[in-house]
Structure 1
Amino acid sequence: MLHEKQRILFFILKAIDSSQVPVGSGYLRNSLQRQGFDISEATVGRMLRQLDIKEYTEKIGFKGRILTPIGKIKLEELERENTINHYGKELLNVIRVTGKQELLDALIARKAIESQLAKLAAIYITDEEIHKMKQVIKRQQMHVNKGISIAEDDVEFHKIIAKAARNRILDAAMDLIRQHGQLSPMLEYIRKEVKSRVLLDHKNIYKAIASRKPELAEEAMVRHIEKLERDVKKYWEIVYEKDSSLDVVRELRM
C-alpha cells in the first residue's frame, strides 16, 4: 500500500477532484476522518498551502481549492501506484501459479515475434508514431523518477511498435500473448525484486527504430527480452529455489 503521507495526499486530491465545487479545509478534514485519519482543520490548511506551492491545487478566493492539471496528473500517478501495490499479494500468487517455465515460454515467443516487429517497425514507422514512442519514453522516465508503476507505459510502448510494423499476423500473435492480462505487471514485479531496469532497453529500441535501422532494432529487442528471461530465472533462484532449499534443510533436521 501507499505510505501514510502518500495515502493522505491521495485522499485529499481525490476529494477535491470528486467535488463539483471548490472545497475548503473543513470539508477535507471530514473527508479524511471518514478514511480513518484524525487530522485537525489547521493541519489540513497547512497541507493545502503546500499543495498550492507544488501547483497541485489552486485557491479560488474564499470558496476553497480546485485541482490543477498538474494535480490531476499526480492523482492519476497515485491511483496507479495504489493499484499495483494493492495487487502485490495477488501478483505473488499469480506468479507462483503461472510458474517459471510458462513465463519463460511466453518470453521466448515474445522474443521471436517482437524482434521481427521491431525490425519491420524500423522500416515502416511514421513520424507520428516515432513521436508517440518518444512521449511514452518521457512519461516512463517521469514515472521511474517518481517510483510509480510503468506497466501501462510498457504495454503502450510495445503496442506502438506492433502497429508500426504493419504486419497483421505478427500483431495478432502478440495480441494472443497479451491476453494474459497480468503478464506486464508480473514482469514489473519481478524486475523490482531483482533490482532490474527496463527503461534503458526501451530507449535503445526507440533509438534504433527512430533511426530506421532494422538490424539494430531487432538486436535491441532481442537483448531486451533476453534480459527479462534472466530476470525471471534470477527471481526464481532468489525466491522459490531458496525456499525449497530451506525446506530440505528443515526436513533433514527433523
Structure 2
Amino acid sequence: MSIVSEPILRRKIADEVFARLKFLIESGELSAGDEMPSERELMERYGVGRPAIREAMQALASKGLVEISQGERAKVLRITAESIIRQVDLPAKLMLSGSADSLEHLKSARIFFERGMIREAAVKATPEHIAELEALLERQVQNLGDADAFIEADMDFHQYIASISGNPIFVAVSGAMLGWLKAYHSEMLIWTGRENFTLTEHEEIIRAIESRDADVAEQAMIKHLERSRALYALKNRK
C-alpha cells in the first residue's frame, strides 16, 4: 500500500501536545534554560487533561529536549553533541550485550576513529596539551592496583587526545565509545602486569605527539589498541 492511500490515523492527544511543545523549542520561542509552562497553564491552553501533558513532557525528556526535576518546572536543555549521542547510549549497550559481532565492530570502529584523533593531536598539540597528557599518565601510575581508577584514567587519557582536535563532536563520540567498551573490559588488565604495557604505550604515544610526527603517532596508537582489544570481551556468554 502506498503512503498516499494509507488510512489516516487519529493521533493520541499526548502526541499532539508533544508536537506543539516541540515546536515551541524548535521555533526558538523557548530557549535553552527557559522553564516550560506549568502543567495547569498547558492544560488550559490546549484543553487537555494532566495525563496527556505529563506523557508529552516525558517524551520531550526522553529525547533530551527538557529536564524534569521533582517539584520544579521542566527546563529546556541546551542541545550539545554529548546530549545527542547520550540518547543512543542504552540502545547501543543492548546491541553490544547481545552480539559478539557488534562488539568486534565497535573495537574496529574505535581503532579507525582513534587513528584520526592521534593524527589531529600530532598536528595541533601544544606544550600545555603534552603536560596534561603526562599528568594523566602519572595518574594512571598512581592508581596501579586499583582497577576502576586505572581504567578511568585510561579512558580520560584517550578522550583528552580527542579533545585536542577542538571538535566537541569528536569528544562526544570518543566518550560514547569508551563508555560502551568499559562494560566489557576484562579484569585481566590488572594483576597480570599488562597494566605496565599500557603505561609504556601511553608514554610512547605522548612522545610521538610531542614530536609532531603524525605517522609515528598513528602507528603507536594502532599498536596500543590492537594489543588491548583482546581485553574487551562479552561476559557470561555460553
- TM-score w.r.t. the length of structure 1 is 0.47
Where does residue 90 of structure 1 map in the other structure? none
Where does residue 142 of structure 2 map in the other structure? 142
Q: What is the CA deviation profile of residues 152-202 of structure 1, one whole-angstrom value per residue up to 9, with x for unaligned ones?
A: 10121012100112344433432442453xx23532524238763322221
Where does residue 114 of structure 1 map in the other structure? 114
Classify 1:224/1:168 alpha carbon distance in 2 versus 1 (closer, same or farther; 3 Å). Answer: same
From 181, 184, 206, the equivalent of 2:182 is 184
Where does residue 201 of structure 2 map in the other structure? 201
Where does residue 133 of structure 1 map in the other structure? 133
Q: CA deviation at 1:98?
A: 5.3
The CA distance in 2 between the partners of 1:169 and 1:148, in whole Å, is 29
Q: CA deviation at 1:119?
A: 0.9
Residue type of the alignment partner of 2:170: L
The CA distance in 2 between the partners of 1:142 and 1:190, in whole Å, is 19
Structure with bigger helix share is 1
- Give structure 2 stretches of 5+ with no counterpart: 1-93
The CA distance in 1 between the partners of 2:97 and 2:169, in whole Å, is 30
The CA distance in 1 between the partners of 2:191 and 2:229, in whole Å, is 14
Residue type of the alignment partner of 1:189: E
- TM-score w.r.t. the length of structure 2 is 0.50
Identity of aligned residues (%): 24
* Contact preservation (8 Å) 1:151, 1:185: no
Residue type of the alignment partner of 1:127: P
Q: How does 1:97-108 map to 2 (within 5 A)?
A: 97=97, 99-108=99-108
- Give structure 1 stretches of 5+ with no counterpart: 1-93, 245-254
Q: CA deviation at 1:136?
A: 0.8
Residue type of the alignment partner of 2:201: D
* Contact preservation (8 Å) 1:136, 1:153: yes
CA-based RMSD = 3.1
* Contact preservation (8 Å) 1:141, 1:199: yes
